[in-house]
A and B are shown apart, each in its own frame.
Chain A
Amino acid sequence: EAGVTQSPTHLIKTRGQQATLRCSPISGHTSVYWYQQALGLGLQFLLWYDEGEERNRGNFPPRFSGRQFPNYSSELNVNALELEDSALYLCAASRGGVDEQFFGPGTRLTVL
């Protein structure tokens, strides 16, 4: 069974641009979570999607947004990129509720 996949692996953007990150969950996993790990910091919860709807978001500005598609894959969009958005972005998937989350390999975003 394929695990959670993310693309791209690395992404380099300049300040002010927009970035789109993608995540495909494991088959049967309807919940997708997005996390940010900035250098020197722990994992910060960004967004949670379940059954196509945004269920909750962390303390991030509105320029961080996303969506979940009918096949449960998800996109994270970051608009008006700032230097401090440079981080590892991890996507995780679960069957929902308190089920364990399975993490993807991450996308390393660098903003120059």
Chain B
Amino acid sequence: ILNVEQSPQSLHVQEGDSTNFTCSFPSSNFYALHWYRWETAKSPEALFVMTLNGDEKKKGRISATLNTKEGYSYLYIKGSQPEDSATYLCAFSWVGTGGFKTIFGAGTRLFVKA
């Protein structure tokens, strides 16, 4: 059974701290790795889609890296702000019989205290 692990499960930081989370996924049949931000009472919002080993993406203070050979991705937030408080989900897409499938991790819940 394919599984996507995210760590830590939750994280409490102070405003201004930099932080990072990990997403671990199977390294075989890789298709794509997605990061989403899910704020309470809102819909998940796409941050990045990465498809190539070594990919690095950046959006403002948030960046992500991808290692498909060892099966992990890191999400970094520089200078955390209270508005960064959310659950960060990663989703792994792989190629199987009948096409590709996507499986989500359980997420990392980030709390940023002002």
**Chain A residues within CB distance 8 Å of chain B:** 4, 33, 35, 41-45, 48, 55-56, 58, 90, 92, 98-106
Interface residues on B, range: 20 to 34
B13 touches A (CB below 8 Å): no
Shortest distance in angstroms between B98's beta carbon and chain A's nearest beta carbon?
5
Q: Would you list 26 pairs from A and B whose C-beta atoms are within 8 A, ordered by A residue?
A: A4-B43, A41-B106, A43-B44, A43-B104, A45-B101, A45-B102, A45-B103, A45-B104, A48-B99, A48-B102, A55-B99, A56-B98, A56-B99, A56-B101, A90-B44, A92-B44, A98-B31, A98-B49, A98-B93, A100-B34, A100-B46, A100-B49, A103-B44, A104-B43, A105-B43, A106-B43
Q: Which residues in chain B, 1-50, are within 8 Å of chain A measured between CB atoms?
A: 31-32, 34, 42-46, 49
CB distance from B51 to the nearest CB of A (A): 6
What are the 5 tightest A-B residue pairs by CB atom distance, in nearest-first order?
A100-B46, A103-B43, A42-B106, A43-B104, A98-B32
Q: Would you call the interface of chain B mostly helix, strand, loop, or mixed?
A: strand
> For the complex, what is the distance from the CA of A102 to the CA of B46, rounded to whole Å?
7
Which residues on the A side are within 8 Å of B93 (C-beta)? Answer: 98
